[in-house]
Amino acid sequence: MIPASTDKPSEEQGASRLPGETGDEPALIERARGGDLDAFDELIRRHQERIYGTIYHMTSNHEDAADLAQETFVKAWSALKGFKGNSSFFTWLYRIAVNKTINFLKSRKNKRHMSLNDLDAAGENDPLLVELISNRHPRREAVLAELKGKLNTALMKLSEDHRLVVTLHDIQGMPHDKIAEIMGCNPGTVRSRLFYARQELQAWLSDYVK
Amino acid sequence: MDPAPENFDKLQKLLALKRHEQPPPGFFARFPAQVRARIEGHQRDAAPSWWHRMVESLDARPMLAGTYGLAVGGLLLLAVNFLIQPEPTPGFATQPQEKKEPVPALTPTNPATLLATTNFPPPSNGTPPSFLVNPGQGTQGTVIPASLTNRP
């Protein structure tokens, strides 16, 4: 389960370890570089949820996300010898995932929209969602389904770069500087993209967020 | 410069709900094994060929790579040199030479011998006609200059 994070991740978070990063990770990486698949299994367990989550929110499809997440780890395994440790393993892994996902999205002709039927029970009962819907709509279920659809359609309308910053920051709770590192740009660019992406989303979802 | 602050609180709350979206139950429990199976499958399929092994070994030893490059370059030069040689090396001839018809040598030293090869009648005194040895004399031995007045 993706750990909950604050709505506005602070830059200070960037200095601390991201979820999944622990003190023994360098030793695991070293063992994996030497061909130890058990060590690599452990690295997969630590990072799979966030990697899968990012790809899932970018592609809007579980099967594509599962496949791309697998490809990400296979590529990481084969490229592990080239990992110099200049960035954290997590950032390096994220770059592989993001590149694979963006290439996939560029090659995909017909965009499919995700089915949000797999929103879990905790999500449906989330106080934020309850607050957003129940105050003004008696037909809660219907409105919930409509909101899910609107939200995802709006996300899929964003450009890939804008969707990526929204996914990493507003959904995954990642700080600006980490996102900048992953995307290969400066934190100011990340903030700017995030601002314009939110503006677009707010306009498309005006019935719900104003 | 940061963009102007704007209130995105509700939007952020809405987006944060997407964290609850989860893959089917058991997905993350199976995932590492699936990746591992894929890695092992790739390793089986991609057993290194002799070429890859050679490239890897050369990659680690630049001196060896240089020597190899020089050797290949030398062989190429030898091959080009061999191909552009004008005459075949006797020891390397692979096809029998075609037998050519002998061409008769044209070495007439005597004008009479040369005349004998033509249809001209042989001279009575054994000497060639004067027009052959004195061009411009004609058969009569006189030169008639071209003139309009000589017209009949």
B38/A74 Cβ within 8 A: yes
H or E stretch at A140: helix A140-157
A181–chain B nearest CA distance, Å: 18
Q: Is the pLDDT of residue A25 over 60?
A: yes
Q: Is the pLDDT of residue B95 over 60?
A: no
- Would you place residue A42 in the very low, low, confident or very high pLDDT band (cuts 50, 70, 90)? very high
Cα of A21 vs its chain's centroid, Å: 16
Buried residues in A124-135 as b, exposed as e (16+ CB within 10 A):
bebeebeebbee
Taking the C-alpha atoms of residue B43 and residue A191, their distance in angstroms, rounded to an integer, is: 42
B42/A70 Cβ within 8 A: no
Q: Is the pLDDT of residue A70 over 70?
A: yes
pLDDT-wise least confident of A117-126, A133-142, B15-24, B123-132 = A117-126
Q: Is the pLDDT of residue A81 over 80?
A: yes
Cα Rg of chain B, angstroms: 49
ipTM above 0.90, yes or no: no
Proportion of chain A in helix, strand, coil states, percent, rounded to 5: 70, 0, 30
Q: Which residue has the tokens 């080239």?
A: A82
B10–chain A nearest CA distance, Å: 5
Taking the C-alpha atoms of residue B35 and residue A46, their distance in angstroms, rounded to an integer, is: 14
Q: Does A191 touch chain B (CB under 8 A)?
A: yes
Taking the C-alpha atoms of residue A193 and residue A182, their distance in angstroms, rounded to an integer, is: 14
Which CATH number applies to A158-210: 3.40.1050.10, 1.10.10.10, 3.10.310.40, 3.40.640.10?
A: 1.10.10.10
Contact A109, A37 (CB under 8 A): no
- Would you place residue A188 in the very low, low, confident or very high pLDDT band (cuts 50, 70, 90)? very high
Domain boundaries, chain A: 21-109, 113-155, 158-210
Percent of chain B beyond pLDDT 70? 49
Domain A21-109 fold is: Rna Polymerase Sigma Factor; Chain: A (1.10.1740)
pLDDT (mean) for B41-55: 76
Question: Which position has the higher pLDDT, A114 or B71?
Answer: B71
In 3-state terms, what secondary structure has residue A53?
helix
Plot region of B78 (φ>0 → left; ψ -120 to 50 → alpha; else → beta): alpha
- Would you place residue A195 in the very low, low, confident or very high pLDDT band (cuts 50, 70, 90)? very high
pLDDT-wise least confident of A4-8, A93-97, A203-207 = A4-8
Which residues does residue A119 pair with via DSSP β-bridges, in sequence order? B21
The whole-number pLDDT of residue A142 equals: 79
The whole-number pLDDT of residue B43 equals: 80
Taking the C-alpha atoms of residue B19 and residue A9, their distance in angstroms, rounded to an integer, is: 15
Which residues does residue B21 pair with via DSSP β-bridges, in sequence order? A119
Q: Between chain A and chain B, how many beta carbons pairs sit less than 8 Å apart?
A: 121
Tell me whether domains A21-109 and A158-210 share a fold.
no
Residue of A nearest to B43 (CA): A78
Q: Which residue has the tokens 């029970």?
A: A121
A196/B15 Cβ within 8 A: no
Set of chain B residues whose Cβ sits within 8 Å of the Cβ of A166:
15
Question: Which position has the higher pLDDT, A123 or B59?
Answer: B59
B31/A2 Cβ within 8 A: no
Which alpha helices (H) appear in chain B, and where do they start and end? 9-16, 27-45, 50-60, 62-83, 111-116, 130-133
